[in-house]
Chain A
């Protein structure tokens, strides 16, 4: 079959690779119909996580059709149209039982790297390097999904592939970011990042009761889309002092909750950003935490900072003093896909969220490398390239 493989830092190519086979009772094989690029792939492609091997198949946000099931699969049948959560969860450990699926104990068969780096190993993630289990990804014609009954969900009829694909990762990640904020109604929520996750977080915050949502980015077209589609307020940090603007917009209080949907390759303007970028390029720090710093500084006293952008290692100049003295609540984590997907599918079917507009650039799998390039450089207003293997 054809698959988009990582060929070294910054290099991607479509290759002929063997087809996956059922290897355990709970496995399913999914024929991929739509597979989205994701901002977190950029950290892998650009070599910021050192656990990629040449030939690894990328891709973790996808939907498709079940074409084969292992003998232990009960909930799914061949022919089902499904969306699959990016994080692999076994369904049988304490974390899965308590719906903290991204912390699953048994789904990362190669846990030593993350145990050394983080103290414990979280769940495996499909197509997300050898630190996350070494699973083959979804930018391919077929993919093996372990624990199919736990991770794959039947999709309601009538919802297009390029819409439901985002229920795999961007939507549950955004939803979890808003869920962390503990909204009770009437809050002001600021969201850093107007990419797929940030926009879904903004929509989730609205649905969970936020009265005002303010989205921060530097790309006018993304901010424009967010304003048009979701009716949020926007700040362009390239033109405006974000802290000043947020203070003014909230009459001095600051946002009640701040959601960071950017991650370790955060951008900013000014000397502090140049310093961070230089350190990261020299591998003296793994992560560029610009937007997390800003979120902590902007957040109102006693508010919540919720981090769903991906960070991998150590950061520098983290304003712990601000967080401590303002008594902030910090919540963060990889999304618990399996907890949120059924609810999100219901909301898509009910028309409450329509993530289809994120798929600005549908294209054949063969153009995958170009799709990532457009996505990373934000060419042609690209929010997400979505690859179609067939």
Chain B
């Protein structure tokens, strides 16, 4: 027979643990939320490309290479000297389409603004020479809106998708500049049935998306 005292002690200990765990989770979540500024989420991501700044700029201005790089998921149309219109298809499928306007603001700076897409978004990229002999740092800042005001206030907005997309894009760009391709193992042979292959593709998707950039 358990005494009342023991029951209260157990209840107390459980509550204390639950509150502690809850606080830990809340803190973790806060740490993983993007910064906020004037109602925008702001994320900054960078990647280092093993080429001098000039070569990286050269990649952006070589129309043929850029077209080839973007072939699978976007088209580019030049509006005037410094502005392009970009129509991108969500690589994850679902038929989502984005329209963006890209502007070259200076020798190592490029900015973009989504003019038509599911999430209001704008951003810019700076190219900075990396220390030692390490090439170029591509530093991107992305601002986007998402979720309702209440969800945002509670920190529940699923705000990480544009961020994941940005990290993916940076990794793709790095690989294209350094190797001319982005490796893909999705269609490598296996002994899987079509159903198993579909499940495995989902796993691949999870292991491909996001990461640290």
Q: In whole angstroms, how far apart are the Cα atoms of A26 and B184 in the complex?
A: 12
> In the bound complex, what is the Cα–Cα distance between A246 and B199 (angstroms)?
52
Q: How far is the CB of B176 from chain A (nearest CB, A)?
A: 9
A3 and B211 contacting across the interface, CB-CB below 8 Å: no
In the complex, whether B23 has a CB less than 8 A from a CB of chain A is no
- Is B206 interfacial (CB-CB < 8 Å)? yes
Query: Is B181 in the interface zone, CB < 8 Å from A?
Result: yes
A55 CB-CB contact with B under 8 Å? yes
In contact, A133 and B185 (Cβ under 8 angstroms): yes
Secondary structure at the B interface, as helix, strand, loop or mixed, is: loop
Q: From residue A203, how far is it (CB to closest CB) to chain B in Å? A: 34
The answer to whether B192 touches A55 (Cβ under 8 A) is yes
Are A147 and B179 neighbours in the complex by a CB distance under 8 Å? yes
How many of A's residues come within 8 Å of B, CB to CB?
54
> How many residues from B make CB contacts under 8 Å with A?
36
Binary per-residue interface labels of chain A (106-147) against chain B in the complex, 1 for a CB within 8 Å, 0 otherwise: 111111110100011100100000110111100010001011
- Consensus secondary structure, chain A interface: loop
A93 touches B190 (CB 8 A): no
Chain B residues contacting A20 (CB-CB under 8 Å) are 188-189
Distance in angstroms between the alpha carbons of A108 and B175 in the assembled complex = 11
Once A93-B179, A110-B185 are accepted as A-B contacts, the answer to whether A136 and B211 lie under 8 Å apart by CB is no
Expressed in whole angstroms, the minimum distance between the Cβ of B184 and any Cβ of chain A is: 6
Kindly report which residue of chain B lies nearest to residue A142, judged by CB atoms. Answer: B189
Mask of A53-77 contacts with B, CB within 8 angstroms, 1/0: 1111100000000000000100000
Residue B174 interfacial (CB < 8 Å): yes
Across-interface contacts of B200 in A (CB, < 8 A): 53, 55, 130
Q: Smallest CB-CB separation from A70: which chain B residue?
A: B181
Instruction: Give Cα A13 to B192, complex, Å.
Output: 12
The reply to whether A55 and B190 contact each other, CB–CB distance below 8 Å, is yes
A352 adjacent to chain B (CB < 8 Å) = no
Q: A124–B183 contact, CB under 8 A? A: yes
Given A110-B204, A110-B208, answer yes or no on A136-B182 (Cβ-Cβ < 8 Å). no
CB <8 Å contact, A15 and B208: no
- Asked whether B178 is an interface residue with its Cβ less than 8 Å from the other chain, the reply is yes
Tell yes or no: B212 within 8 A of A by CB.
yes
Instruction: Determine whether B191 belongs to the interface, using a CB cutoff of 8 Å to chain A.
Output: yes
Q: Known interface pairs A93-B179, A105-B178, A133-B183. Does A115 touch B211 (Cβ–Cβ under 8 Å)?
A: yes
A92 contacts chain B at the CB level, 8 A cutoff: yes
- Contact, CB under 8 Å: A130 / B207: yes
Q: B207, A112: Cβ atoms under 8 Å?
A: yes
Q: Which residues of B contact A19 (CB under 8 A)?
A: 189
What are 5 A-to-B residue pairs whose CB atoms are below 8 Å?
Answer: A7-B191, A24-B184, A55-B200, A72-B180, A112-B207
Ordered nearest first, which 9 A-B pairs have the shortest CB separation? A55-B192, A5-B191, A110-B207, A15-B191, A92-B178, A136-B188, A55-B191, A94-B50, A92-B179
Q: Which residues of A contact B (CB under 8 A)?
A: 1, 3, 5, 7, 13, 15-21, 23-26, 51, 53-57, 72, 88, 90-94, 97, 105-113, 115, 119-121, 124, 130-131, 133-136, 140, 144, 146-147
